[in-house]
Amino acid sequence: MYYDLITVGGGPAGVMGAAAAAQRGLKVVLLEKNDRLGKKLSITGNGRCNFTNLCDPASFMDNIVSNGRFLYTSLKRFDNHSLVSFFNSLGVKTKVEDDNRVFPASDRAEEIIKALHNYLHKSKVEIRFNSNVKKVLAVNNRVSGVLLDDNNRVAGENVLIATGGLSYRQTGSAGDGFRMARALGHFVAPPRPALVPLVAGGKWVKQLQGLSLQNINVQAVLEEKVIAEQTGELIFTHFGVSGPVILKLSSLINKCPPSSLALRIDLFPSISTTQLDAQLIEIFKKNHGKYLKNALGDLVPRKMLPLLQIFAGVDILKQVDQITKKEREKLAGSLKRIALTIKGARPLNEAMVTAGGIDTNEINPSSMESKIVRGLFFAGEVIDVDALTGGFNLQIAFSTGYLSGVSVKGENEHA
């Protein structure tokens, strides 16, 4: 059997590429090493699958961390609205939540996977599970097929590598595509963890384990310069910090050497230090005669109170009336600038997304075809692209998959 397209990987990028090509009448086979499609897709959005974001194109670009310009054509050709319409046409009802995030109305990622599976069948894509591709075969810089780990060959005109990144390896994305691309002469930017919790220094961090801070601002600081900041929720863990704000920051700072990075937490980003000091004056007046730790109970999370000695050098067992102006001002300043040293990120396997990947300079952005090997295509996380949370990464996988599928030339389509 000779195929027009061999798709390696049954995640969102591979499924979309395979189906888009088959819809044009091409003969397509999809090879997936697992015994089912979309193992990673099934755990996205906590099992609810935040599959895209309905923000406008400019904001969409703002949420792409690496190589947004490379994605311009694919995101235009098959955009967020097209993806929502696509799922609606497959019978999946969708809903939009805060920050324009789109989910299946059922809150079930499995519904998305089932719809994609049915679509592949309808498009007449041959699906082969438990098929682990070891190598892409090429002759004179032209693809000729793939070799499976059982040494069987599958012959074809084009190969789409959609094997994902290197995180959550248990889902099947174990960096195989990086290896295959390197063997064919492609440069692979070193994989780095993105959207990942951070490991923090300082013994006191452990004391705050389990504490969630809402509506706070966190700045990432490199050599005294603020390089990124985010506002939202932060969660202290046994190793450091996590939560939406930290995941996003981790993607924005992952090219920096962690040893020189620090975070600054502002517990009250909506008011100035002077305004916070004025609030403290009021609180102290109302709590005349009380210990500082009891007076601040409504302002500062209880778990954090014992740490005010470290943050601001004030004794929480002092009565508020005995706190000097200087101490009070220092307290206000410290609550708006808690410093945290960063030791690094949690391992790649714990990252939601892999940054780095196949160099975008070596891929044609209008087709997703390799500039090095003819008939070789890439889609999804295997490429050196990554975005923040909010449905952007899945949209990228679907869009690049779609563009590759409509771009491949079948055996009989060459001029």
Buried b (16+ CB within 10 A) or exposed e, 204-230: bbeebeeeebeebbbbbbbeeeeebbb
Single out the residue of 78, 178, 392, 402 in contact with ligand FAD (rule: CB under 6 A): 392
12 binds ligand FAD (CB under 6 A): yes
User: How far lies 69's CA from each of 256, 360, 361, 395, in Å?
Assistant: 22, 10, 11, 15
How far is 25 from 410, CA to CA, in rounded Å? 9
Closer to ligand FAD by Cβ: residue 23 or 171: 171
Cα of 19 vs its chain's centroid, Å: 24
3-class secondary-structure state, position 38: coil
> What's the min distance (Å) between Cβ of 186 and ligand FAD?
16
Only one of the segments 78-86, 277-285, 305-313, 391-399 lies at the binding site for ligand FAD (rule: CB under 6 A); that segment is 391-399
Sequence letter at residue 131? S
- Give the closest residue to 280 by CA, choosing from 312, 238, 323: 323
Quick check: 381 and 165 in contact, CB under 8 A? Answer: yes
394 binds ligand FAD (CB under 6 A): yes
Number of neighbours of residue 113 by Cβ within 10 angstroms: 20
349 binds ligand FAD (CB under 6 A): no
Residues 167-206 vs ligand FAD: string with x where CB under 6 A?
xx---xx--x------------------------------
Closer to ligand FAD by Cβ: residue 233 or 329: 233
Q: Which of residues 45-64 bind ligand FAD (CB under 6 A)?
A: 45, 49-50
Closer to ligand FAD by Cβ: residue 165 or 328: 165
> What's the min distance (Å) between Cβ of 191 and ligand FAD?
13
- Give the closest residue to 12 by CA, choosing from 66, 52, 67, 59: 52
Only one of the segments 35-43, 200-208, 290-298, 402-410 lies at the binding site for ligand FAD (rule: CB under 6 A); that segment is 35-43
Interface residues with ligand FAD (CB under 6 A) are: 8-14, 31-34, 39-41, 43-45, 49-50, 132-133, 162-164, 167-168, 172-173, 176, 352-353, 380-381, 391-394, 397
